[in-house]
């Protein structure tokens, strides 16, 4: 459930054959190249979730179901290879997200990876991640994934506190998460757990409990996100009706600070605003590609892609998606060709989120002039700015990253 | 029933005995315009086909609000008992801000139709105008309108009217402007009851200006009532207060479109066009005479319009300033009471301090600026004019709180008004409480009928300007009505309250209030601003202070979280667009010291829904 919000942006129409302007392809392969695969199925929809996903009962049309999904995905893989042409680079990272990718049989997930390998080739040391629901994997299914090339599993843990999980409508048994972490490791893969803070009714103590539980499982990587109430979700309706009260920003700030403190103490280092890893080798390289202005092809309904300054997004519904790709057409619903100005804004807003920070020589003069003030306000790290000429967020700065971005962009 | 007159009497050749000049005194939406329409139709002045509903109200805003701002005069023929008469209906403005204009319209008439909604009874403004008419010795014809309404209570309100003017309830006419019922009878009564105008045709000409309107094509159109002598086309006329002379390019009557005539004689009502472009050169209340044969004395009652309420008007987009200036220059041509001068506010930029007759005048001007000139405006809290005397003997006239002098103050005076409030008797307590809290003093109280009370108060104008009308309406469930007129000045214990953000004074929020209310004002503004100003990177104290003494304080806590937690592949476009939107929004931010205040916060903090006396 990482990648695909339910609302698509406004953009211009994409060409039917998915062709990209030649300018987008000039620097192909100079940056890391990734593949994102969106699996739009869940057994139930959680109350806070606004991702592009469907329960089985919501579907039920031929060609779009769980059993035929892999074929539709592979059809888009073929289209991608075609559009990028002979100069297409081997794939550095694959990320299978959802939805709940493990609603598919491991065999189908492996089949998609095989298809990517055949069409693009996989780079040396490729990272292949899948998201998983703790209740939808077994030691056997995990072993099958590892044998098929998967290197990493990201588990949707969210919380260790039953009443919080209930509010989120997560159905998994918290005790299960520890066993799954063990099983992933036993299968020889890295493991990450996702946590959510700021759920209505969650106390600072609850959050501490969840963090302690996550740390105790000794994963390689932890992501922690503040809950965002998205329009159109069940939770949004409950907030609107006053059935639940959202915590205020200060509460979320307290929780972020607690997370950063506890995770640091436990040996995790932040490398992006919401991500911590035990070492540079256990970071999620695929996600790093997003923040480093990398290229990737997003496969599946509602998936977003970026290649050389062109961003596009696929039609959302699995049926519509299957119809397009099975007819040999691009599933793209719309796209935007970024201007230099927009690419610059994106580089700043993404780059500054990373622990390496934003190289100041990429920042325009008006933005560089803002750096001293940001250091003085305690939002940027002074030594990094002076010694390394990089804009690196302090802890306070991470919580105010959007403020920092606006000031670096000169307004 | 009288037949429609077949031929109208010609202007300049109608003997005064055949002329009847009247106005209609009525509350907003008691049906004055509808009745006037019906009269135009019944007298044949307007054909049914060409009938625009509410013919006399010209401006869009008036039409929408159902109120009449500018009066006009229409000449109608009417035959009664075999004789054809000339009726001049002079339309009066129906609002409290225009008392002076009303008084001039009344002065142009011999009689008044007192028109009251048979379902609602008399309202305060009508009562005030009725008193004005009685003081001017006008003959009053009491009329109940809307008798066709199911909720009409003609007996009850006829008794009320009879009590007020001292007549028999039987003499109160009953009409329906809507259906036309009783209108012919009313026209007959106007002929029968009202005295004919008196004047000396051989004396030098004297005509009173009771209205003056700017027309894009014709220049200023001046409405006059001739008292003595005669005015004729092409002659040179003089304005007695300004001594200005003009050539009379056109003279005529309205019936209901302007028709040039050979002149206007004693008792007649009509219009003059001299080619002047600014209504200030043709002032309401002034006397027009012949320049070559001037009259010795002007008619009494002339007064310069005096702005009572001031407010700063600022364009939301600073680059609209020149448009605002041109727009005010244009409106001024048609509004002798509008005064303004440029003003700069640290918080709001360049704008104008504008003087108005009252709150409705303010609202109308503002609305016209926004609608006709496509401007987005912020207006500061309206204030009255204060005279501040310092210990050193100097005095300052303060029309803007930020001009309030520093230094030791000997005395401050503020304008007061004489207010008339009418309400069902159950609300007497609520009204007394309200007026008490607004520093009012009761002058008297009378029962108009068993369950309706007239209360007379002296109130500081500043208290009326600040939210009074809304407070009155909400405490009386909309049943009370209010009228007021200037009634001199009083000294009062007033202070200036400043609002400071992060220690910086925000000039737009400074206000002059009574010492006892300083704390309430300070707390109100500080609380409002705390809600309206987004949290900043640092803590922002909001203080209300009298001089250096802080009387109220709030804190906007520093923002701690401003980050999108999740920013993955599919979030990037959305995130960038949000940023682009914020960049646009930044243009609507004003800096107060180092605090960013969104324009919306100023608008919301300065808004008060008072003075909307259009609301019933």
CATH code reported for the domain at B387-492: 3.30.70.240
What is the per-residue DSSP string for A208-272? HHHHHHHHHT--SEEEEEE----TTSHHHHHHHTTSS-PPPHHHHHHHHHHHHHHHHHTT-EEEE
Tokens of B155: 């007996």
Is the predicted pLDDT of residue B103 greater than 60, yes or no?
yes
Of B563, B573, B577, the CB nearest to A401: B563
Nearest chain B alpha carbon to A343:
B576
Which residues have a Cβ under 8 Å from the Cβ of B460 and sit 6 or more positions away?
B384, B414, B415, B416, B417, B438, B439, B440, B490, B492, B514
What average pLDDT score do residues B51-56 get? 54
Is the predicted pLDDT of residue B605 greater than 60, yes or no?
yes
pLDDT digits (tens, 9 = 90+) for A104-161: 999 999 999 999 999 999 999 999 999 999 988 999 999 999 999 999 999 999 999 9
Residue with tokens 């070559």: B292
Peptide bond before residue A99 is cis, with ω within 30 degrees of 0: yes
Using an 8 Å Cβ cutoff, are B9 and B76 in contact? no
Q: What is the pLDDT of residue B525?
A: 93
Using an 8 Å Cβ cutoff, are B6 and B75 in contact? no
Residues B574, A350: C-beta atoms closer than 8 Å: no
Contact with chain A for residue B570, Cβ under 8 A: yes
Contact with chain A for residue B13, Cβ under 8 A: no
pLDDT interval class at B81 (50, 70, 90): confident
Label residue B478 left, alpha or beta by phi (over 0 means left) and psi (-120 to 50 means alpha).
left
Contact with chain A for residue B579, Cβ under 8 A: yes
Residues B561, A252: C-beta atoms closer than 8 Å: yes
Of B565, B570, B571, the CB nearest to A226: B565
**CA distance, residue B450 to nearest chain A CA (Å):** 49
Residue with tokens 């007033």: B494
Is the predicted pLDDT of residue B50 greater than 60, yes or no?
no
Of B559, B561, B576, the CB nearest to A349: B576
The answer for A 80-119 residues in CB contact with B (under 8 A) is none
Contact with chain A for residue B576, Cβ under 8 A: yes
**CA distance, residue B605 to nearest chain A CA (Å):** 24
Alpha-carbon distance values, B506 to B350, B564, B570 (Å): 15, 33, 43
Nearest chain B alpha carbon to A4:
B570
Checking A368-371 for CB contacts under 8 A at 24+ apart, the result is A370/A407, A370/A408, A370/A410, A371/A408
Instruction: Check if B309-380 and B387-492 are the same fold.
Output: yes
Residues above pLDDT 70, as percent of chain A: 96
pLDDT interval class at B67 (50, 70, 90): very low
Residues B569, A403: C-beta atoms closer than 8 Å: no
Q: What is the pLDDT of residue B609?
A: 45
Of A36, A225, A402, the CB nearest to B569: A36
pLDDT digits (tens, 9 = 90+) for B269-324: 999 999 888 888 888 899 999 999 999 999 988 788 788 899 999 998 889 999 99
- Return d(Cα B148, Cα B41) in angstroms, integer: 19
Is the predicted pLDDT of residue B613 greater than 60, yes or no?
no
Q: What is the pLDDT of residue A4?
A: 62
Domain limits, chain B = 3-193, 206-290, 309-380, 387-492, 495-615
Q: What is the mean pLDDT of chain B?
A: 88
**What residues in B contact A274, CB-CB < 8 Å?**
565-567
pLDDT interval class at B66 (50, 70, 90): very low
Of B572, B576, B580, the CB nearest to A290: B572
Is the predicted pLDDT of residue B615 greater than 80, yes or no?
no
The answer for A 298-317 residues in CB contact with B (under 8 A) is 298, 302-306, 311, 313
pTM (predicted TM-score): 0.72
Task: Choose between B470 and A164: higher pLDDT.
Answer: A164
Chain B contact probe: residue of A196, A337, A349 with most B CBs at under 10 A? A349
Residues A405, B579: C-beta atoms closer than 8 Å: yes
Is the predicted pLDDT of residue A93 greater than 70, yes or no?
yes
Say what the alpha-carbon torsion angle A244, A247, A252, A254 is, to the nearest 10 degrees. Answer: -130
Nearest chain B alpha carbon to A373:
B537
Q: What is the pLDDT of residue B3?
A: 52
Residues B567, A353: C-beta atoms closer than 8 Å: yes
B3-193 CATH choice from 3.30.70.3280, 3.30.70.100, 3.40.50.720, 3.40.50.300 = 3.40.50.300
Nearest chain A alpha carbon to B584:
A411
pLDDT digits (tens, 9 = 90+) for B535-562: 998 999 999 999 999 999 999 999 999 9
Does the domain spanning B309-380 belong to CATH 3.30.70.870? yes
What average pLDDT score do residues A232-238 get? 87
Judged by DSSP in three states, A86 sits in coil
Contact with chain B for residue A288, Cβ under 8 A: no
> What is this model's ipTM?
0.90
Q: What is the pLDDT of residue B346?
A: 81
Tokens of A365: 């003069």
Of A9, A252, A304, the CB nearest to B577: A9
Superfamily of domain B495-615: Elongation factor 4, C-terminal domain (3.30.70.2570)
Chain A contact probe: residue of B535, B555, B559, B569 with most A CBs at under 10 A? B569
Nearest chain A alpha carbon to B538:
A377
Residues B569, A296: C-beta atoms closer than 8 Å: yes
Contact with chain A for residue B580, Cβ under 8 A: yes
- Return d(Cα B495, Cα B508) in angstroms, integer: 16
Of the ranges A60-69, A385-394, B37-46, B473-482, the best mean pLDDT one: A385-394
Superfamily of domain B206-290: Translation factors (2.40.30.10)
What average pLDDT score do residues B463-473 get? 87
Chain B contact probe: residue of A5, A51, A338 with most B CBs at under 10 A? A5
- Return d(Cα A372, Cα B252) in angstroms, integer: 76
Residues above pLDDT 90, as percent of chain B: 58
Is the predicted pLDDT of residue A254 greater than 70, yes or no?
yes
Contact with chain A for residue B531, Cβ under 8 A: no
Q: What is the mean pLDDT of chain A?
A: 92
**CA distance, residue A140 to nearest chain B CA (Å):** 30
Q: What is the pLDDT of residue A60?
A: 55
Chain B contact probe: residue of A313, A403, A404 with most B CBs at under 10 A? A403
Is the predicted pLDDT of residue A74 greater than 60, yes or no?
yes
Is the predicted pLDDT of residue A2 greater than 80, yes or no?
no
Task: Choose between B522 and A47: higher pLDDT.
Answer: B522
Nearest chain A alpha carbon to B587:
A411
Q: What is the pLDDT of residue B33?
A: 83
Contact with chain A for residue B277, Cβ under 8 A: no
Of the ranges A275-284, B69-78, B243-252, the best mean pLDDT one: A275-284
Is the predicted pLDDT of residue A366 greater than 80, yes or no?
yes
Residue B30: CA count within 13 A, CB half-sphere: 25
Residue with tokens 């009652």: B301
Is the predicted pLDDT of residue A321 greater than 70, yes or no?
yes
Of A225, A313, A411, the CB nearest to B583: A411
**CA distance, residue A254 to nearest chain B CA (Å):** 9
Of B562, B568, B573, the CB nearest to A311: B573
Q: What is the pLDDT of residue A220?
A: 98
Size of interface A-B (CB pairs under 8 A): 109
Q: Which residues pair with B174 in a beta bridge?
A: B144
**CA distance, residue A237 to nearest chain B CA (Å):** 21
Q: What is the pLDDT of residue B70?
A: 44
Lowest mean pLDDT among A63-77, A374-388, B202-216, B376-390: A63-77
Is the predicted pLDDT of residue B566 greater than 60, yes or no?
yes
Q: Which of B402, B404, B481, B472 is nearest to B438 (CA)?
A: B472
- Return d(Cα B246, Cα B267) in angstroms, integer: 22
Residues A400, B580: C-beta atoms closer than 8 Å: no
Contact with chain A for residue B306, Cβ under 8 A: no
Q: What is the pLDDT of residue B614?
A: 33
Q: Which of B129, B124, B132, B64 is nearest to B469 (CA)?
A: B124
**CA distance, residue A387 to nearest chain B CA (Å):** 26
pLDDT interval class at B71 (50, 70, 90): very low
Tokens of A156: 């949707």
Burial class (CB in 10 A: 0-12, 13-18, 19+), A215: middle
The answer for B 545-564 residues in CB contact with A (under 8 A) is 557, 559-564
pLDDT digits (tens, 9 = 90+) for B205-254: 999 999 888 887 888 889 999 999 999 999 999 999 888 999 999 999 98
Residue length of chain B? 616
């Amino acid at each position: 459930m990482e990648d695909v919000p339910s609302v698509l942006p406004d953009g211009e129409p994409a060409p039917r054959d998915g062709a990209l302007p030649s300018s987008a392809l000039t620097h192909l392969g100079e940056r890391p190249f990734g593949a994102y695969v969106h699996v739009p199925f869940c057994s139930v929809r959680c109350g806070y979730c606004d991702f592009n996903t469907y329960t089985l009962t919501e579907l039920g049309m031929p060609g779009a179901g769980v059993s035929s999904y892999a074929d539709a995905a592979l059809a888009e893989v073929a289209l991608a290879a075609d559009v990028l042409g002979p100069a297409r680079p081997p794939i550095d990272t694959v990320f299978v997200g959802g939805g709940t990718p493990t609603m598919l049989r491991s065999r189908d997930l492996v089949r998609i990876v095989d298809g990517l390998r055949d069409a693009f080739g996989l780079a040396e040391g490729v990272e292949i991640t899948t998201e998983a629901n703790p209740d939808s994997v077994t030691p056997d299914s995990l072993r099958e994934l590892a044998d098929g090339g998967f290197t990493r599993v990201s588990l949707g843990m969210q919380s260790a506190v039953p009443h919080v999980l209930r509010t989120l409508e997560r159905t998994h048994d918290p005790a299960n998460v520890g066993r799954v972490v063990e099983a992933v490791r036993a299968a020889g893969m890295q493991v990450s757990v996702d946590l959510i803070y700021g759920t209505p009714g969650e106390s600072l103590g609850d959050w501490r409990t969840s963090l302690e539980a996550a740390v105790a499982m000794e994963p390689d990587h932890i992501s922690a996100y503040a809950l965002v109430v998205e329009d159109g979700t069940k939770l949004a309706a409950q907030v609107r009706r006053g059935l639940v009260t959202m915590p205020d920003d200060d509460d979320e700030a307290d929780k972020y600070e607690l997370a950063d403190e506890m995770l640091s103490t436990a040996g995790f280092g932040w490398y992006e605003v919401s991500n911590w890893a035990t070492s540079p080798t256990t970071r999620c390289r695929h996600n790093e590609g997003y923040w480093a202005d990398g290229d990737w092809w997003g496969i599946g309904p509602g998936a977003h892609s970026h290649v050389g300054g062109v961003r596009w997004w696929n039609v959302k519904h699995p049926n519509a998606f299957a119809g397009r790709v099975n007819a040999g057409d691009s599933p793209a619903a719309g796209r935007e060709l970024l201007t230099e100005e927009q690419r610059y804004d994106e580089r700043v807003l993404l780059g500054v989120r990373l622990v390496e920070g934003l190289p100041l020589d990429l920042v325009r003069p008006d933005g560089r002039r803002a750096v001293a003030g940001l250091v003085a306000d305690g939002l940027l790290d002074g030594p990094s700015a002076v010694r390394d000429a990089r804009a690196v967020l302090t802890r306070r700065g991470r919580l105010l990253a959007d403020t920092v971005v606006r000031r670096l962009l000169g307004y | 029933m009288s037949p429609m007159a077949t031929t109208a009497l010609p202007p300049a050749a109608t003997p005064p005995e055949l002329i009847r000049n009247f106005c209609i005194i009525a509350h907003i939406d008691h049906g004055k315009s509808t009745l006037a329409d019906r009269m135009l139709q019944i007298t044949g002045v307007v054909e049914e086909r060409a009938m625009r509903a509410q013919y006399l109200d010209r401006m869009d805003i008036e039409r929408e609000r159902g109120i009449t701002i500018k009066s006009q005069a229409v000449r109608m023929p009417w035959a009664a008992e075999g004789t054809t008469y000339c009726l001049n209906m002079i339309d009066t403005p129906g609002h409290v801000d225009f008392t002076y204009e009303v008084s001039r319209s009344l002065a142009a008439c011999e009689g008044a139709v007192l028109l009251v909604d048979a379902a609602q009874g008399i309202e305060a403004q009508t009562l005030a105008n009725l008193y004005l008419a009685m003081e001017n010795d006008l003959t009053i014809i009491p009329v109940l309108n809307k008798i066709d309404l199911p909720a009409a209570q003609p007996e009850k309100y006829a008794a009320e009217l009879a009590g007020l003017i001292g007549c028999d309830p039987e003499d109160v006419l009953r009409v329906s402007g809507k259906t036309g019922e009783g209108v012919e009878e009313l026209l007959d009564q106007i002929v029968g009851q009202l005295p004919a105008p008196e004047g000396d045709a051989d004396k030098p000409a004297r005509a009173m200006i009771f209205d003056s309107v700017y027309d894009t094509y014709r220049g200023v159109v001046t409405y006059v009532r001739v008292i003595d002598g005669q005015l004729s086309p092409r002659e040179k006329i003089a304005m007695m207060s300004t001594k200005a002379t003009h050539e009379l390019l056109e003279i005529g009557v309205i019936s209901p479109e302007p028709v040039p005539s050979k002149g206007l004689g004693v008792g007649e009502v009509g219009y003059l066009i001299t080619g002047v472009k600014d209504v200030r050169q043709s002032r309401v209340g002034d006397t027009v005479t012949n320049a070559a044969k001037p009259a010795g004395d002007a008619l009494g009652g002339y007064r310069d319009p005096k702005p009572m309420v001031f407010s700063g008007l600022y364009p939301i987009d600073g680059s609209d300033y020149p448009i605002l200036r041109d727009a005010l220059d244009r409106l001024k041509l048609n509004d002798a009471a509008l005064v303004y001068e440029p003003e700069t506010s640290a918080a709001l930029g360049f704008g104008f301090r504008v003087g108005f007759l009252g709150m409705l005048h303010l609202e109308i001007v503002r609305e016209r600026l926004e609608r006709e000139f496509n401007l987005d405006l912020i207006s500061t809290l309206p204030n009255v004019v204060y005279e501040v005397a310092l210990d050193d003997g100097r005095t300052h006239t303060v029309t803007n709180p930020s001009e309030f002098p520093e230094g030791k103050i000997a005395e401050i005076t503020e304008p007061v008004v004489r207010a008339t409030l009418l309400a069902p008797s159950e609300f007497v307590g609520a009204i007394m409480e309200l007026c008490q809290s607004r520093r009012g003093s009761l002058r008297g109280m009378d029962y108009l009928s068993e369950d309706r009370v007239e209360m007379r108060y002296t109130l500081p104008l500043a208290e009326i300007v600040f939210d009074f009308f809304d407070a009155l309406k909400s405490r009386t469930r909309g049943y009370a009505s209010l009228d007021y007129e200037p009634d001199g000045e009083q000294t009062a214990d007033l202070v200036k309250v400043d609002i400071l953000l992060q220690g910086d004074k925000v000039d737009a929020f400074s206000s002059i209030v009574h010492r006892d209310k300083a704390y309430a004002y300070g707390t109100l503004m500080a609380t409002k601003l705390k809600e309206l100003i987004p949290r900043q990177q640092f803590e922002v104290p909001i203080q209300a202070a009298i001089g250096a003494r802080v009387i109220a304080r709030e804190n906007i806590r520093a923002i701690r979280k401003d980050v999108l937690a999740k920013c993955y592949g599919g979030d990037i476009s959305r995130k960038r667009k949000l940023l682009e939107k914020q960049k646009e929004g930044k243009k609507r931010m004003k800096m107060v010291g180092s605090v960013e205040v969104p324009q919306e916060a100023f608008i919301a903090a300065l808004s008060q829904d008072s003075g909307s006396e259009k609301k019933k």
